Amino acid sequence: MEEPEKGSRLAIEAENLTKRFGAFTAVDHINLRVRVGENFGLLGPNGAGKTTTIRMITGVIKPTEGSVKVFGIDVVKERDKAIRKIGYMPQRFSLYEDLTVEENLMLYGSLQGLRGQHLRERVNELMDRFYLREIRGRMAGRLSGGMKQRLSLAVALVHDPDLLILDEPTAGVDPPLRRRFWEHFKELNKEGKTILVTTHYMDEAENCDRLALMGGGRVIAEGTPQEIKRKAIGGELVELRVDGDLELKGISGLKEVLKNSDGSYLLLVEDSSSFLPEVLRRAELAGVRVRSASPVFVSLEEAFIRLMG
């Protein structure tokens, strides 16, 4: 299947979205633009307002102020039309514990309006895709955490929605299964689906196309993982090891120089991809041997700690 262009069409457009519970503001005038086909991560500490934001996007609760559209459809004014486009996997399981895996899928499928052969085929397809066939007869209440997550994802996809909203889909799931989940998400993106996902796992968030970091009901930073890291540290870090001394002054894009005790340099630069060739050129002209010159990996976790202050 051809990969869709992650273009300018918007799957979610929230403007000044606000939710107050009494005097408390849980979500405070946030603006979000999620493009069709991308994997967009919503991150932030407990109580940041992520779930409340998701509940407004899915039409479960109404905003106090502001608006939210899904594929151009106003979620408040045309809720029924908007929610047909959305598959929602909430944080707590919404499975029927005393129904089997297969019965849950059949029931959710019929609630979404699927009937007869079409429903049967869709349920079979999802059971195959998420490795549920072998446990099709097991009661949902007796499944392991990972199996429940798989079934919940399958349930969210039963009506083949264009937008998938996942609230901590990998919470409590072991690392190999978490990886498998993210492979599923990548495949779904390739099929043209848009994904909005919240997670506490920073290593997972590196997989998102773009992220919004929330804190205290507001969006503190937004962009690709790379952009967010750049914002957090004010540029990019490069480690440089040379034999002898190299004059670095005057190289464009150099912001700060730190000479380590072992003689290596830690440099803060605007853009490492344009900076590194320039350093190598300068070293060659000066006859200085470069042992290594490479960008330093900054984790999202470090970036977020800085941004959250």
Ligand X SMILES: Nc1ncnc2c1ncn2[C@@H]1O[C@H](COP(=O)(O)OP(=O)(O)OP(=O)(O)O)[C@@H](O)[C@H]1O
| Maximum C-alpha span of the chain | 77
Q: How far is the CB of 41 from ligand X (least distance, A)?
A: 13
- Identity of the residue, 44 or 59, whose beta carbon is nearer to ligand X in the bound complex: 44
- Identity of the residue, 24 or 297, whose beta carbon is nearer to ligand X in the bound complex: 24
Span interacting with ligand X, options 42-50, 245-253, 265-273, 275-283, rule CB under 6 A: 42-50
- Identity of the residue, 51 or 272, whose beta carbon is nearer to ligand X in the bound complex: 51
Span interacting with ligand X, options 21-29, 98-106, 220-228, 292-300, rule CB under 6 A: 21-29
- Identity of the residue, 218 or 306, whose beta carbon is nearer to ligand X in the bound complex: 218
**Interaction of residue 197 with ligand X, rule CB under 6 A:** no
**Separation CA 189–CA 170 (nearest Å):** 17
**Interaction of residue 46 with ligand X, rule CB under 6 A:** yes
**Interaction of residue 23 with ligand X, rule CB under 6 A:** no
**Interaction of residue 172 with ligand X, rule CB under 6 A:** no
Token pair, residue 92, equals 């707590």
**Separation CA 76–CA 207 (nearest Å):** 31
- Identity of the residue, 48 or 155, whose beta carbon is nearer to ligand X in the bound complex: 48
Span interacting with ligand X, options 50-58, 67-75, 103-111, 172-180, rule CB under 6 A: 50-58
Span interacting with ligand X, options 33-41, 47-55, 107-115, 243-251, rule CB under 6 A: 47-55
**Interaction of residue 49 with ligand X, rule CB under 6 A:** yes
**Separation CA 41–CA 122 (nearest Å):** 28
**Interaction of residue 47 with ligand X, rule CB under 6 A:** yes
Q: How far is the CB of 61 from ligand X (least distance, A)?
A: 8
**Interaction of residue 58 with ligand X, rule CB under 6 A:** no
* Parallel/antiparallel/unpaired status of strands 65-70 and 236-242: unpaired
* Ranges within 92-111 binding ligand X (CB under 6 A): none
For every residue of the chain, DSSP letters joined together read: -PPPP--S-EEEEEEEEEEEETTEEEEEEEEEEEETT-EEEEE-STTSSHHHHHHHHTTSS--SEEEEEETTEETTTTHHHHHTTEEEE-SS----TTSBHHHHHHHHHHHTT--HHHHHHHHHHHHHHTT-GGGTTSBGGGS-HHHHHHHHHHHHTTT--SEEEEESTTTT--HHHHHHHHHHHHHHHHTT-EEEEE-S-HHHHTTSSEEEEEETTEEEEEE-HHHHHHHHHTSEEEEEEESS----TT-TTEEEEEE-TTS-EEEEES-HHHHHHHHHHHHHHHTPPEEEEEEPP--HHHHHHHHH-
Span interacting with ligand X, options 20-28, 70-78, 140-148, 241-249, rule CB under 6 A: 20-28
Q: How far is the CB of 14 from ligand X (least distance, A)?
A: 14
Q: How far is the CB of 111 from ligand X (least distance, A)?
A: 25
**Interaction of residue 48 with ligand X, rule CB under 6 A:** yes
- Identity of the residue, 48 or 70, whose beta carbon is nearer to ligand X in the bound complex: 48
**Interaction of residue 26 with ligand X, rule CB under 6 A:** yes
Judged by CB under 6 A, the number of residues near ligand X is 11
Count of CB atoms within 10 A of residue 38's CB? 19
Q: Which residues bind ligand X (CB under 6 A)?
A: 21, 24, 26, 44, 46-52
